Amino acid sequence: MTSNRSLFRVSLQARRAALATGLAASAAVLSGCYVVPVNPYPGHPGATVLAAQLPAPVLPLTLTARLYPANDLATGYGLVNAVVTNDLNGRGSFSTSINGESFSGEATRKAGSAREGLASGAGNRGSFLSCQYTMNSATLGTGTCRMNNGAVFTMHVGN
């Protein structure tokens, strides 16, 4: 009788081990599955959200700016092209090249103004450029830029 009981215990332990292994295998197999809606029509259960319905991410806006000479010192540099990247949160980056010197810096809106702002750039040879601007729309504006040597430019922003 003792031998039958020990066989029953081994058999019960083997069944439990097999059941645990089967459950673990089922969980592993099912963990790689996902549910796909059967009826993708809007307004029906299981409908998917179309990409056009999702809000678009806010991407920075890149604008070109043209700096026209406004005094004799600036005339020697001619027309200067610049790039302003607006992060649409009141600030952005500003970059240009004048007479072979690369300028880079920031553009920010003045406190309390949705239209007026400042842009400043430091040159890789030690010069600096400071601009004041007013935006007439989200993509168009005008302003004035002054280099530390006294050169003055009239700035037009917009594509």
Domain ranges of the chain: 2-53, 61-157
pLDDT at 54: 59
pLDDT at 60: 83
pLDDT at 86: 84
pLDDT at 94 over 70: yes
User: pLDDT of 2-56, one tens digit each?
Assistant: 555 544 455 666 666 655 555 555 544 444 544 455 555 555 555 555 555 556 6
Taking alpha carbons only, the member of 140, 139, 145, 126 closest to residue 79 is 145
pLDDT at 128: 96
Distance CA 123, CA 100 (A): 10
**Residue 96: C-alpha distances to residues 109, 138, 145 (Å):** 19, 21, 12
Q: Which CATH class is domain 61-157?
A: mainly beta
Taking alpha carbons only, the member of 89, 91, 96, 112 closest to residue 155 is 96
With cut-offs at 50, 70 and 90, classify the pLDDT of residue 87: confident
| Residues ≥6 apart with Cβ < 8 Å to 108 | 90, 91, 92, 117, 118, 119
- Which has the higher per-residue pLDDT, 59 or 158? 158
Mean confidence (pLDDT) of the chain: 79
